[in-house]
Structure 1
Amino acid sequence: MDTPMDDDMMREVAECLGNNDAPRAVSKIQKYLEDLDKIPLNMAITGESGSGKSTFVNVFRGIDNKDERAAPTGCVETTIESKEYPHPNYPNVKLWDLPGIGTTNFPANQYLRHVGFEKFDFFIIVSADRFRENDAKLAQEIKKMGKKFYFVRSKIDNSLRDEERSQRDFNAERTLQKMRENCISGLVNQGVESPQVFLISNFDLHLYDFHKLQETMERDLPSHKRNALLFSLPSVSLGIISKKKDAFHSKIKYQALLSAAVAAAPVPGLSFAVDVGILVGVIRGYKLGFGLDHQSLEKLAQSAKMSLGDLQAVIKSDLASNEISKELVIKLLSMSASGAALMAVEEGARFIPIFGIAVAMGFSFMSTYRYLSSALDMLANDAQNVLKKALAQDTSL
């Protein structure tokens, strides 16, 4: 859905092009796209020592606990002051590891001022077993401040294993429902109205309630911040992959408009060179966002207890199988009948009197839009195939 900011940018670009000021139009579109990538999202993660909050910060960012960029983890409280951890691929998205309120000398209202509550978009309160009085008081103060908060009951996989050992007639679904109800009733008894509790395993995010947490956070965020959340989410479900695809697709019209604005400059060959640069940058972003880069695939293969080659075997597109480069994009464009034809017509249109530049702009927009849409379809399909393969290999993944 277009926003007033979208409409304003479009009007300004149209005005620039109407005045034959293509460089200014290009500059405005570039700034708009850069601003979209810089929309900040700050998530506050808090909980008592040993609750798994630091591990949650790391897993959400796709980082192993042993990574030098990881939030420190341990059974004792390792977080003394608020510490920000930017997402490695989307630095505009930051997870803040906050000290547990029970480890500070501040009451709930002073605690929020101490950690700088105003900069956070929402709070996630983590517990490894049950939520305590401090958690409830913190939630009530967050609500007074007009912020959203979510309760996450972590280490569900450990709890289920413990329950299975102790019960004769163990039933996983019944046990999960009992855990959820116990958490909710405990919070209600401590004065929290309609608490939202999500059961999560930090190491198996595709299981249990992570998808519900993702959907709730997405729904509660203002529209201009939703894509920032979606891009940063680990691709642990087909639903997330599908939503990421939609989020990526929403930007294609602006990327194609940038291509068209460059085509307005009467310089032979410039449009093609810039278009290739646009395609390379955007497609690299798709590949990284879907977790199809080499590092992400290696990590997924390790988690699924399978070889990297087994995952790579279900990848169909050359874009996912190879390093994205200008040479690869040019090769694939030349192999595409429609792509090659549109590029040829665009360059030829420049020599048409009076209307040539306008025609070239139209073809430039169309070719960029079509190719990015096609690339997005292929990479999204590859991401889905890779995830299905991983899930089929190891049901604990």
Structure 2
Amino acid sequence: MRVFETGDGQTVGLTQLDQRPVETEQELESILNQNPDVLLDEPVLIFSRQPSLDPGLPDLVGLDQYGNVIVFELKKGLSGTGSASEETILSQPQNYARALGPCDYDDLNELYQEYQQQIRSGEWAVDESLIPAESLDDAFEAVFGRVIKPRDYNQYQRMVIVAETITGQTAENVRYLQDQGLHLQAQEVQLFESADGASETLATTVVVDYDDRRVRPSRVGNPTYDEVNREILERVYPQIQSLVGGSTVGQLVNSFDSREPRLHSEHLDHPEAVEFSLRVKPRTDGQVRVTLDVDNDEEAVKTIREHADLFEEHGFEVSHTRSRHRVVMFTWEMDSFEPLNQDEVLDEIAETFALLVELSHEVFGASPQ
């Protein structure tokens, strides 16, 4: 790629700019983080940078206009050379995409909350303008000018290899993996500077692309299992009514047909920020889960962790890193809907949910009314 400066229009001829090699991958990462508009030929919202995943730390993670997750793997110089071999630069984004695949909206929003904290603390030298809103769904609306349902996030996982130069071998491998069904692209990003070094120009080219119809969701959505949600929570309510109040369970639950119904206790001694959620997703996530969630109350989270032994002795998992969603949880691995047709399974889930509510009230000194 050659880049020329046109001047002020009064001088005849063009001045060719010299390519300035990127000094470090950290520099390339910062440039792209600060300027997401240069990534791909479409709008992109970067919502996470180097999040801690089981396979490692992906460079940048974004969303496209459909809510699909995009993993950006960055490489200074030639792709598939140096510390990032041809095999590594192809396998790493696949591993990250696989790790992010099961994430729902709440999981992605947690990553976005961490990203906000990193930027505001100065960990990443980028502007706070990259945080257009406090929640991920509001940030999505601010960037793309549209709203999508929480269930429509992350239907596809996309991967982009970004390097100063995409080698012929990398391009060939990316096309092959595209043919195998992977949503993989390759992009070149190069810096050019004027002869006197006074100005720089950024040039980008998507070397290997695909039609966006390939990742445009069908919007069929995931099942919400509203009848199962109602059945479980109605079994729960008689066991906890003396604690949580209300005359019906419907008064305490946000919505039975929501993706994740939440129950709120009306007990005066129980923190308003602490809620209980039910997540029934055997076909999509292979799990059913009951959780204790906290909405922006550090003291409540501290109290819960101080009583971690009480929850854990009853089989619950207590997180010492999450401070909002799934602070306490219990999970059943379930890869089909069939077990949820059995009364004993529904009773077990209901009893565990009720126990979580009872333990929470005990921790916060909320006795039966």
What interval of TM-score do these two structures reach, taking the shorter chain for normalisation? under 0.3
